[in-house]
Amino acid sequence: MRCVLGKRWIWLLLAVFSFAPLWAAESDEADDEIVLDVQAPGAEDNEEEGEELLSETDRSFGGWIDLRPSWNPEGKSSHAENEVGVEYLLIPDRSVGYTQEFRMDFEPSGNFQLADGYLWSELSHFVDFTPTLSLSYEPRVYLPTSAFDKQAGLIASTRQYLKLHWQISETFALFLWEVPILAVHTQPGYEEDEEIISNRYFENRIEFGPQVSLFQERITLKVPLVLQSLRHHDFNEDALYNATWTHELWVYPSVMGKLTDTTFLGAAYYSDNFLQANGFYDWDIGRGLKRGIFQIVLQQFI
């Protein structure tokens, strides 16, 4: 019972830590509206701002499914990396939801596995620096839904997505994401296939790349370069990654076509790690590309 209560408290603290900026932003927005109403009741500015807020009847649920049949050119992997999600729109540019990822192996057929599952909230245009440069904020709280997370003893982890978007022209933009990640486990490490592995407790992830939109945004191309830096527990001197930093650098290009307002079809590819055992001093781009995964992407929104 003591362990269960501890997990619940950790989930609560991570949720408060993750979503507090959104609640604070909503409170500030409400305060601003009250001040405006007092200073200039019935003014045009107040009417325009009021129209942006959704009434209770206008608040609505949405959802989506993302299907990604995936394979490796060497034939070492044939599976599907999928996800389903639900979303609740609070007010314009602010929503909350839940996403559940799952994997289906084609060989052997019928093998179904839950992957990451997480609660999230998104505040678009958290800060508008200029008309073309904006910052969005998306906190996530990950739950131990996958078999891997349960084996590692994960209680919960939190990710804070800070998304900077610079719209340089109508068709070309640059994006930069900064994502600090904290993970809480019941144990500093675990054993798998007679190998001792140290759990990571902190990770910093950076994603950077261009985005190109063509034909009135019917075709969208993104080429993110992802750098992950992970810090692991001091678990056992014989454990893999024990008390060390590890780094991963990989690329994840995708192209998506808009078939209808709610249906998208495209393709994606993600490489393996370009960095080897010695970190930034040991590169093997060819190996990373060769071990990458190709995907066909079908997205349906409701």
User: 182, 185, 181: which is closest to 155 by C-alpha?
Assistant: 185
Question: How many angstroms separate the CA atoms of 266 and 170, rounded?
Answer: 21
Residue 25: the pLDDT is 55
Q: What CATH architecture is 2-301?
A: Beta Barrel (2.40)
User: 246, 234, 162: which is closest to 198 by C-alpha?
Assistant: 234
Chain mean position to CA 128: 21
Q: Are 166 and 175 in contact (CB under 8 A)?
A: yes
* Token output for 110: 């019928």
Question: How many angstroms separate the CA atoms of 70 and 78, rounded?
Answer: 6
Cα torsion through 211, 141, 83, 219, rounded to 10: -10
Q: HSE on the CB side for 107, CA within 13 Å?
A: 7
Pairing of strands 293-301, 61-67: antiparallel
Give the bridge partners for 225, in sequence order: 208, 251
Helix extents (H) in the chain: 2-39, 44-52, 147-152, 285-290
Q: Are 104 and 71 in contact (CB under 8 A)?
A: no
Confidence of residue 109 (pLDDT cuts 50, 70, 90): low
Residues 6+ apart with CB under 8 A from 156: 7, 10, 11, 14, 141, 142, 143, 144, 183, 184
Residue 46: the pLDDT is 45
- Report helix, strand or coil for 78: strand
Place of tokens 């990604």: 68
Residue 15: the pLDDT is 62
Confidence of residue 4 (pLDDT cuts 50, 70, 90): very low
Q: What percent of the chain clears pLDDT 90, i.e. is strictly above it?
A: 70
Q: What is the pLDDT of residues 73-105, one digit of tens each?
A: 876 678 999 999 999 998 888 999 999 999 998
* Token output for 21: 């900026």
Question: How many angstroms separate the CA atoms of 209 and 174, rounded?
Answer: 6
Question: Angle formed by the axes of helices 2-39 and 44-52, to 10°?
Answer: 150
Q: Are 179 and 157 in contact (CB under 8 A)?
A: no
Domain ranges for the chain: 2-301
Identify the sign of the CA torsion 280, 283, 289, 290. Answer: negative
Question: How many angstroms separate the CA atoms of 292 and 290, rounded?
Answer: 6
Q: What is the pLDDT of residues 222-276, one digit of tens each?
A: 999 999 999 999 999 999 999 999 999 999 999 999 999 999 999 999 999 999 8
Cα torsion through 84, 122, 167, 215, rounded to 10: 30
Q: What is the pLDDT of residues 171-227, one digit of tens each?
A: 999 999 999 999 999 999 999 988 999 999 999 999 999 999 999 999 999 999 999
Residue 106: the pLDDT is 84
